Chain A
């Protein structure tokens, strides 16, 4: 299917576990982003990527790792999950020209 997809859609994990959230887009957009959405904080940027092998920190990067070996994929890894990382995670992508961002359906992550 064309567009931007995220997997899994729901995930429950334990404190201290490593977990990877996947993001895939079929538009060949150069830019990709990871946000988290929390009550009281709204949407905050975690990491973003301008192209394959180019990534940079956003507003709240601590505890997260990203990679981008292929243009279409942008996985987000929580190296050692903490309860404070319980959140809804959104991936987005944008084309170089318009910079209009398109969002995936989100992953609801619960850390117990």
Chain B
């Protein structure tokens, strides 16, 4: 059974800092890994999707990397801003084939606070 762990559980940083959020998964036979952002009381917004054949993806100030062999992914946020404050979730997508296609297993999330 896939298990996903996110470290740290919470992070508070001053504005402008570069930061790294960590995600680890136990079963390396993933199809993809997806990073989400969730604001309080809101739904999930997809930030980055890394397919299993890729090593990293970038979108603006965000960069996500994937190392399947070690079961790790990191989300790097450059020059953090107060608007980045939210919960960040990573989710591992199950492999191809059969009815397990595309199922996501989520970590517990990292609560990020960026203060001015």
Q: Is the CB of B34 within 8 A of A58?
A: no
Q: Mark B86-115, 1 if CB is under 8 A from A, else 0.
A: 000101010000010111111111000000
Of the candidates A58, A99, A100, A102, the one having the most CB atoms from chain B within 10 angstroms of its own CB is A99
The number of A-B residue pairs with CB atoms under 8 Å apart is 56
Tell me, in angstroms, the Cα distance from A8 to B22 when the chains sit together: 35
Q: Does B32 belong to the interface (CB within 8 Å)?
A: yes
A104 within 8 A of B: yes
Distance in angstroms between the alpha carbons of A44 and B105 in the assembled complex: 7
Contact A104/B43 with A42-B108, A43-B89, A99-B31 known, Cβ cut-off 8 Å? yes
CA distance A33 to B108 in the complex (A): 19
- Chain B contact residue count (CB 8 A cutoff): 24
We find that the number of chain A residues with CB closer than 8 angstroms to chain B is: 23
Residues of A within 8 A of B31 (CB): 99
A54 to B98, alpha carbons, bound, how many Å?
12
Say yes or no for A31: interface residue by CB 8 A criterion.
Answer: yes
Q: State the B residues within 8 Å of A (CB).
A: 31-32, 34, 36, 42-46, 49, 51, 89, 91, 93, 99, 101-109
